[in-house]
């Protein structure tokens, strides 16, 4: 009965904690826990279809493992007889299997350690960010940087900053603004009625192809732009001359 009450208490405590974080608007806590538990499933779904098997190498590995196991068992059985002649019990097969399995595990651990060191060095020397939000980049939800930079560019334009200097001012802004502007193109854009606006899209062509960009101002509140539309907008002459990337 005590165990049942203890389990019920843990379940109720977990539900209360989940409700508390959700009410506080901290859904990321639950998302982080969920990702840590089952996040590897999505990784496998994306990676396994790309895996190719070299059946020749697999057959060679199995053959070498079998030869190593049999040879190890025969050698240890003979050595056992020489060292323990008074013991009538033969060398157990499971001891040989355990020893070979231990050697294989040590070999795998060594490869894993080398791989970890290699990837840590690659991550430390690379310029790519170590973490990237999974909800900020989608075709249905504009990246936060698009909306944020559009809003800041409009504020600068209304304050009298020339459109051609907006991108330079953003790059000289605070740390967050400068980081966003370094990742995004902020291009002055004119609507059909001549209203000032801005076209914002990622500098990285891969992200640009995936998430597109955004238009703001120019008589529009804010509009998502697909990647395929960006070349047309940049070549229609609605973008201020000399500011297109």
pLDDT < 50 stretches in the chain: 135-144, 237, 239-245
pLDDT digits (tens, 9 = 90+) for 72-131: 999 999 998 888 888 778 889 999 999 999 999 999 999 999 999 988 888 778 666 666
The pLDDT value recorded for residue 103 is: 92
Rounded distance, CA 22 to CA 16, Å?
Answer: 10
* Residue 181 three-state SS: helix
Structure tokens at 46: 């994306």
* Residue 69 three-state SS: helix
pTM: 0.41
142 in Cβ contact with 214 (< 8 Å): yes
> 111: burial class by Cβ within 10 Å (0-12, 13-18, 19+)?
exposed
The pLDDT value recorded for residue 143 is: 47
145 in Cβ contact with 184 (< 8 Å): yes
Structure tokens at 128: 């790519």
Rounded distance, CA 62 to CA 54, Å?
Answer: 13
> In terms of Cα–Cα distance, which of 31, 23, 214 is closest to 133?
31
């Amino acid at each position: 009965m005590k165990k049942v009450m203890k389990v019920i208490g843990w379940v109720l405590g977990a539900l209360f904690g989940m409700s508390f974080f959700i009410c506080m608007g901290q859904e990321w806590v639950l998302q982080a826990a969920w990702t840590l538990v089952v996040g590897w499933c999505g990784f496998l779904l994306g990676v396994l279809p790309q895996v190719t098997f070299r059946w020749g190498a697999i057959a060679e590995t199995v053959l070498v493992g079998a030869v190593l196991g049999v040879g190890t068992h025969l050698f240890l059985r003979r050595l056992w007889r020489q060292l323990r002649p008074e013991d009538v019990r033969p060398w157990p097969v499971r001891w040989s299997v355990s020893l070979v399995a231990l050697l294989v595990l040590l070999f795998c651990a060594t490869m894993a350690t080398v791989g970890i060191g290699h990837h840590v060095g690659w991550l430390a020397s690379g310029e790519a960010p170590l973490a990237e939000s999974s909800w900020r980049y989608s075709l249905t939800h504009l990246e936060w940087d698009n909306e944020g930079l559009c809003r800041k560019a409009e504020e600068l334009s209304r304050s009298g900053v020339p459109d051609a200097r907006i991108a330079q001012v953003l790059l000289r802004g605070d740390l967050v603004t400068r980081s966003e502007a370094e990742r995004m193109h902020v291009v002055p854009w004119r609507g059909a009625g001549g209203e000032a606006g801005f076209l914002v899209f990622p500098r990285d062509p891969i992200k640009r192809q995936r998430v597109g960009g955004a238009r703001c101002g120019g008589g529009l509140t804010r509009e998502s732009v697909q990647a395929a539309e960006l070349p047309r907008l940049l070549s229609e002459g609605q973008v201020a001359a000399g500011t297109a990337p």
